[in-house]
């Protein structure tokens, strides 16, 4: 079956792990714009050259570039029946672009999976991880700041999709299997069943 999905989640909630699992279960590609940009930077492509300084500064790559990148990725055959987007859309302009792109194909986003987690618990986890990995740049202040930025930036997007009734808020705390089962149950509740 087709499943056109988006996943959002705060830093440290295991979004990448869950994205991989959902994509495998539904037989759709997991498409991370951050990964695509990083690969272009590593490969030194013209797009990578344009994106590098922007990414290094922690800014958003302009919508014009990002939208074209997503348009061409979604035109690849593996995304014809569905996809899971991670890290896109990030602006309301990107939401509009994606809507128009899908509408041209008579399609639409089926669900937005929103991983939610207690902030203090996430901070504890990330601090532990930073300690284990010797990442001294990750202190409580920077971690909390990243979480604030995440909330500020995703709130308008989640509201836009919430107005359509397609946001599935899923508790993101727990081992990956448990969280994965919650996501599968939430999607099944919307008639989106894996492996069918």
Per the residue annotation, which of 135, 145, 164, 190 is the catalytic one?
135
Kindly report the backbone phi and psi dihedral angles of residue 3, in degrees, each rounded to the nearest multiple of 5, phi listed first.
-145, 115
129 is catalytic: yes
Which residue sits closest to ligand AMP, CB atoms considered? 34
The reply on whether position 101 binds ligand AMP by CB under 6 A is no
Lay out the site mask for ligand AMP across 5-44 (x = CB under 6 A, - = otherwise): ----------------------------xx--x-------
135 is catalytic: yes
d(CA 42, CA 130): 25
Nearest distance, CB of residue 34 and ligand AMP, angstroms: 2
Lay out the site mask for ligand AMP across 154-173 (x = CB under 6 A, - = otherwise): --------------------
Compute the radius of gyration of the chain from its Cα atoms. Answer: 17
Of 161 and 184, CB closest to ligand AMP: 161
Residues in the chain: 196
Identify the three-state secondary structure at position 45: coil
Contacts of 92 (CB under 8 A, 6+ apart): 156, 157, 160
Residue 156's CB is within 10 A of a number of other CB atoms, namely 11
Q: Which two tokens stand for residue 111?
A: 């669900």
Residues that bind ligand AMP in the complex, under the rule CB under 6 A:
33-34, 37, 54-55, 58-61, 66, 87-88, 90, 94
């Amino acid at each position: 079956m087709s499943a056109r999905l988006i996943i959002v989640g705060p830093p440290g909630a295991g979004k990448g792990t869950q994205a991989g699992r959902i994509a495998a279960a539904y037989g759709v590609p997991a498409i991370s714009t951050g990964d695509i940009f990083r690969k272009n930077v590593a490969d030194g492509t013209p797009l990578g050259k344009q994106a590098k300084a922007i990414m290094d500064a922690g800014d958003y790559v302009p919508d014009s570039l990002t939208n074209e990148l997503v348009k061409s990725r979604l035109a690849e055959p593996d995304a014809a029946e569905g996809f899971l987007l991670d890290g896109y859309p990030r602006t309301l302009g990107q939401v509009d672009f994606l809507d128009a792109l899908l509408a041209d194909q008579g399609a639409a986003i089926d669900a937005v999976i929103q991983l939610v987690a207690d902030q203090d618990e996430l901070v504890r986890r990330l601090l532990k991880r930073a300690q284990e990995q010797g990442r001294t740049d990750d202190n409580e202040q920077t971690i909390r700041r990243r979480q604030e930025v995440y909330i500020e930036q995703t709130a308008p997007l989640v509201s836009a999709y919430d107005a359509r009734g397609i946001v599935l808020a899923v508790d993101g705390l727990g081992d990956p299997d448990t969280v994965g089962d919650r996501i599968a149950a939430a999607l099944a509740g919307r008639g989106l069943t894996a492996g069918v």
